[in-house]
Amino acid sequence: MSKLVIDGKHKMEGEIYVQGSKNAVLPILAAAILSDGKNVIYNCPKLRDVDMTIEVLKNLGCRVKREKNSLEVDSYGIHSYTIPEELMRQMRSSIIFLGAIISKFGKAEISMPGGCEIGNRPIDLHLKSLRQLGVEITESHGFIHCHAENLQPAYIHLDFPSVGATENIMLAACMIDGRTTIQNAAREPEIADLQRFLNRMGAKISGAGGDTIVIDGVHKLYGVEHTIIPDRIVAATYLACAAVTGGTVVLKNADSSHMGAMMNVLKEVGCKVHADKSKIILLPAKKLTAVGTLKTMPYPGFPTDIQSPFMALMTQCDGTSIFVENIFENRFQHIEELVRMGADIKVDGRVAVVIGKSELTGAKVVARELRGGASLVVAALAAEGITEIENVKYIDRGYESIERVLSLCGIDIKRKE
């Protein structure tokens, strides 16, 4: 098992090229099975979740080639409509294949998905929406069996703007004759990137980025080339790393238009942030100051994915910060580890109160999920002494070679087996 060993109190200075978005590339790779040719995906990050998605594609019958940060997916001859249980259990986002497989074969068989244990992420919205499209679904012994002889267009109003459910509807409906409308759709930039990819393939989809998406079905999709958008959560994490060390960092291949809520928080704590379409520069705060209350919300609100890294940052801000987690009920697992390092944090249900500024010290801590692991990295940079972070496999799910990126910016960080 790998662990990260970090010697804190080093200022972070340098330039970082932001990797492609994990949350964008996974549904786009699922969409690649809808064409009968080759799709080439650029700016594809090297992550554990991407590796697992490639295994799913191969299991379905695709041929996949990777060359540096490019993936070629050839879906000609795809033959399977099932995903093995061991793959589904390792990655929650594998549920996104359900809509694509149903669209391709008219049937699908998968087990219930796994992934990080951050609380209930029910797939009932996915299944309810697919049923509205004419899919017959039965659940038994932990498996989902789907059958659809005649998929039909539908008007679907989501009870909650679920990213995964929105994507599954887009994938299932893009080749159904007629018009499907999604009301109260998720608005994340990754949804818009999926729309761009599908439309490049020949789909007719509009409205992604807003709360209403319209899908006019087509009969065939074609192989294309596509470049994945930058990862906004990774970008914000590295900005938090720089802020907590009092350093200056330049992010290249970073789209600030996707990061409004996060950048506003960084400005409120006292940092200077300059941005354009493809670059973000963070200058250190003279004094880090707490920002009051942060509530996680669907996009364009403050993202649940950055809650834990920013909580680590708030331990170094003068004053009291209150975090209200509205998306996942079990996304405070990192707090126990931050407290072990000296943070003053009190939890009451979905509310965490952070009293700053804490004198953090290095400790042996454990990453229990992806973003919580990233928060421990942020805290370790501010801590006095050595921090050892175990279960790096979780961090590797979303951050490409985090130790290499940070070490190039002056951080004393090493990966050890």
Angstrom distance (rounded) from CA 227 to CA 229? 7
Angstrom distance (rounded) from CA 336 to CA 346? 10
Name the residue among 130, 122, 106 with its Cα closest to residue 182.
Answer: 130
Angstrom distance (rounded) from CA 52 to CA 57? 9
Which of the residues 44, 62, 116, 409 is marked catalytic?
Answer: 116
Pairing between β-strand 204-206 and β-strand 38-42 as defined by DSSP bridges: unpaired
Q: How far is residue 362 from each of residues 180, 342, 399, measured CA to CA in Å?
A: 53, 9, 22
Angstrom distance (rounded) from CA 242 to CA 256? 17
Name the residue among 254, 243, 249 with its Cα closest to residue 379.
Answer: 243
Active site residue 317: no
Query: Length of the chain, please?
Result: 417
**Helix, strand, coil percent content, the chain, rounded in steps of 5:** 35, 30, 35
Q: Lay out the sheet containing 212-216: strands in order across.
A: 155-157, 179-183, 212-216, 204-206
Q: Which helix (H) or strand (E) holds 175?
A: none
The amino acid at residue 190 is: E
Residues designated catalytic: 116
